[in-house]
Chains A and B, each alone.
Chain A
C-alpha cells in the first residue's frame, strides 16, 4: 500500500498539470486525474515492471481524456474548453505573460496529438522513449512529430497579431 502511494504520488502534480493543460479547468482536470489514479491503482498489478511509471500514468490519463472527448462527441455535446483564456488575468504587462498566453492559446489550436506531445516532452520532461511509449510509436516518429508540432506552434504564434518573438533572446 505504502509502496503504491510512494510510486504514484510523486507523479500527481505532473498529472494535474498535464490534465489542466488539456481541459483548462481545475475541477475537470482533477476529475481526470482522479479517474486516472483509480485506474492505475486497479491495474497496478498488471503494469509492466520494466516500464516507466510516469509514462504509464500519462498514457492512462491521455486515454481517459480521449475517451471522454469521443463520448462527448457522440453525445453531440460541445467539448468544453472552459476557462480557457479567462484564467490568465489582465495584468499582462510583461511580454513573458503575453507570450505565455499566446503559447497556450496557440497550443489549443493544435490537434490533440501535437498538443499532448508538446506538453509531455516540453513541459513534463518525458524522455523521447517515454513519449514513444505513450503514443505507441517508434522514437524516430516522435522526433519527426515533435519537429512538426513545434513548427506548427511557431507558425500559429508568429502568424498571430502580437509581436512577441522579437525580444526573446
Chain B
C-alpha cells in the first residue's frame, strides 16, 4: 500500500518505468519494489529496454533536416501545384462553357439533374442560393454582427471547423449565414452582398463530394463553382459571369486553406 492508500497497480508500474509518477507515488512504488525482487527485476528489465531503445534511436532525431522536409519547402511546392491546377481549372472552365455548360443552361431550373460528386454539391448550392438570395426580410438566420457565434454554431452543426472568407477586397461583405438541411445532413450557407446588392453564397457541407477537384455549373443565370478538401465540400454561387466567379472562388479557397494547399492529394 502506498502512502495515499491506493494499492500499487499495473498502471503505476508502467508509469514508474516511464518516469511519470509524482514523487510520492514514485517513492511508494520504489518501496514496493524493494520488497518484491521478481517485480524489481521485471522493472529493471523494462527500464533497461526503454533506455536502450531511446539511446539507439536518439541519433536519428539529431540528424540535420533535409530541405525536402522543411515546411516552407513543402508549402512552396504545394503552392506551385495550386497555381498549375488553377490554370488547368481556368482552361477546363472554358471547355465546360463550350461543352457541358450550355447543356446545363438549356435544362432550366425545373429539372436539375442530380449527378454524383461535385455537380451535385453545385446543384444543391444553387438550389439553396435561389431560395434564400431573394429573401428580403430574412436572408440569413444569424447576421454578420454575430459572426463568431455564427461560425461556431454552423461548425458544430456541420461537424467541422468552418471559416468564413473575407471577400471585402472583391467588394463583398458578409451578411450572415444559415443552416440548411441537405439530404438529412446539416449544411451551412454564408451569404455575402456587394455594394450594388448582388448576392453571393458559399455553401459548405460535410463529406468529400468525389474524386474530381472542381466543377463549374451554370444554370438559369446562376453560376456555381464547387470543390472539396479532405473533409468538406464547398460551392460558391452567384449570378455573375464565370471569370468573376472564378476570381471569387480563388480568393475564397485561398483563405479557407491559407497554406494554399487544398488542391493536392
Contacts and interface: CB of A to CB of B under 8 A. Distances in A.
B14 A143 contact: yes
Contacts of B49: 99, 103, 106, 150, 153-154, 157
B138 interface: no
Interface residues of B, number: 52
A122 B52 CA distance: 10
Interface string B133-173: 00000000000000000000000000011010000000000
A55 interface: no
B14 A103 contact: no
Given A1-B259, A9-B70, A42-B230, 18 more contacts: A5-B75, A8-B71, A13-B62, A16-B63, A17-B58, A17-B60, A21-B60, A38-B78, A38-B265, A42-B261, A45-B161, A45-B258, A99-B48, A104-B56, A118-B50, A140-B11, A147-B10, A154-B42
Contact of B46 (A106, A119, A150): A150
A78 B222 CA distance: 54
Scoring B18, B49, B53 by chain A CB atoms within 10 A of each residue's CB, the highest score goes to B49
Interface residues of A, number: 56
Given A13-B61, A38-B74, A42-B261, A103 B69 contact: no
A66 interface: no
A4 B163 CA distance: 17
B31 interface: no
Nearest to A8: B71
B163 to A, nearest CB: 7
A91 to B, nearest CB: 14
A143 B61 CA distance: 26
B68 interface: yes
